[in-house]
């Protein structure tokens, strides 16, 4: 299943909506939206992950890329990840650098 | 037993996912165990595509099966010898995300998702065996 990525930007927040599966083949599309969010100069990036059914390490690399691109003053939130997606983020220790909002 | 031969390319990852899902369904794996099997196979296949064949042409061969206790997938390639289990470093949670090295993450995820893993290199082929237990070990009665 493919990945659908959309991004909406307000004054200070970029919201990236991920639907489907994030693997090495689909991660470049996610990368592009991170570039857009970084270029927009927002202070908060919200990654809506409610409908993200799968995430491989390529998705983690995208989070590292987001952090490197935007610096520590930008807050990055992953909202509503499924249990296995949240587990993957925690397993890599990334929950210390991005805010996980489980539901 | 089930088998699949595919070109070593990122566009093949969808076939890898279907292969894992169909095997997991036949084995009656839980959603969690099925996810772990797919994640591990996907990560190791991705690693062969990106690093094993270094973006060049090659082939991936998958075979899968099950016995009473386990479901297994054997992943074969013809890339230079590489044992994913050797030198796999755990992530460094104390290092800020922006300063992390990003190598080895996929292999770490794969190996920690599995119940058992082995690698051998013979006759010019890497052969990895990925194993998931079909049932969680039951607790012994007190």
Interchain proximity A97–B50, CB inside 8 Å = no
Kindly list the strands in the beta sheet with A75-79, ordered across the sheet, starting from the edge strand earlier in the chain: A3-9, A13-22, A44-55, A75-79, A99-101
Short-list B1, B8, B37, CA closest to B20: B37
Per-residue model confidence (pLDDT) at position A33:
94
Give me the residue from B10, B97, B112 closest to A24, CB to CB: B10
Q: Can you spell out the DSSP letters for chain A? A: --EEEEEEE-SSEEEEEEEEEE-TTTHHHHHHHHHHHHHHT-SEEEEEEEEEEEE-HHHHHHHHHHHHHH-TTSEEEEES--HHHHHHHHHTTGGGTSEEE--
Residue of B nearest to A65 (CA): B98
Give me the residue from A56, A67, A92 closest to B39, CB to CB: A56
Mean pLDDT of chain A: 93
Higher local confidence (pLDDT), A87 or B98: A87
Q: Read off the CATH number of the domain in which B83 is found.
A: 3.30.565.10
Interchain proximity B97–A64, CB inside 8 Å = yes
Identify whether B141 is part of a domain.
no
Give me the residue from B35, B43, B100 closest to A84, CB to CB: B35
Chain segment B30-61, per-residue pLDDT in tens: 999 999 999 999 999 999 999 999 878 999 99
ipTM of this complex prediction, to 2 decimal places: 0.91
Q: What is the CATH number of domain A3-101?
A: 3.30.750.24
**Contact assessment for residue B36 and residue B24, using Cβ atoms and an 8 Å cutoff:** no
Distance from the Cα of B46 to chain A's closest Cα (Å) equals 7
- pTM given for the model: 0.90
Per-residue model confidence (pLDDT) at position B139:
58
pLDDT at B138 over 60: no
Range of the domain at B10: 2-88+102-133
Q: How many domains does the structure of chain B reveal?
A: 1
Distance from the Cα of B142 to chain A's closest Cα (Å) equals 31
pLDDT band, residue A15 (cuts 50/70/90): very high
List residues of chain B with CB under 8 Å from any CB of chain A. Answer: 10-11, 13-14, 17, 32, 35-36, 38-39, 42-43, 46, 49-50, 91-94, 96-98, 100, 102, 105-106, 108-109, 112
Chain segment A36-65, per-residue pLDDT in tens: 999 999 999 999 999 999 999 999 999 988
Name chain B contacts of A54, Cβ cutoff 8 Å. 17, 35, 38-39
Could you tell me the two tokens for B14?
């969808």
């Amino acid at each position: 299943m493919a990945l659908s990525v959309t991004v909406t930007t307000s004054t200070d927040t970029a919201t990236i909506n991920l639907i489907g599966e994030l693997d090495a083949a689909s991660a470049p599309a996610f990368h592009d939206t991170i570039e857009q969010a970084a270029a927009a100069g927002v202070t908060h990036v919200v990654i809506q992950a409610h409908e993200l059914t799968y995430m491989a390490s390529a998705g983690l690399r995208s989070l590292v890329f987001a952090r490197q691109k935007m610096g520590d003053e930008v807050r990055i939130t992953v909202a509503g990840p499924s249990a296995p997606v949240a587990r993957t983020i925690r397993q890599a220790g990334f929950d210390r650098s991005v805010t996980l909002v489980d539901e | 037993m089930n088998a699949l031969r595919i070109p070593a390319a990122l566009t093949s990852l969808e076939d890898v996912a279907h292969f894992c899902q169909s095997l997991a369904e036949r084995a009656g794996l839980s959603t969690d165990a099925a996810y772990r099997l797919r994640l591990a196979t996907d990560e190791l296949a991705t690693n062969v595509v990106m690093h094993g064949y270094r973006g060049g042409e090659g082939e991936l061969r998958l075979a899968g099966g099950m016995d009473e206790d386990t479901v297994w997938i054997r992943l074969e390639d013809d890339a230079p010898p590489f044992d994913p289990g050797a030198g796999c470093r755990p992530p460094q949670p104390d290092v800020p995300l922006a300063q992390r090295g990003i190598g080895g993450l996929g292999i770490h995820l794969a190996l920690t998702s599995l119940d058992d893993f082995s690698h051998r290199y013979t006759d010019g082929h890497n052969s990895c065996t990925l194993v998931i237990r079909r049932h969680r070990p039951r607790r012994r009665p007190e």
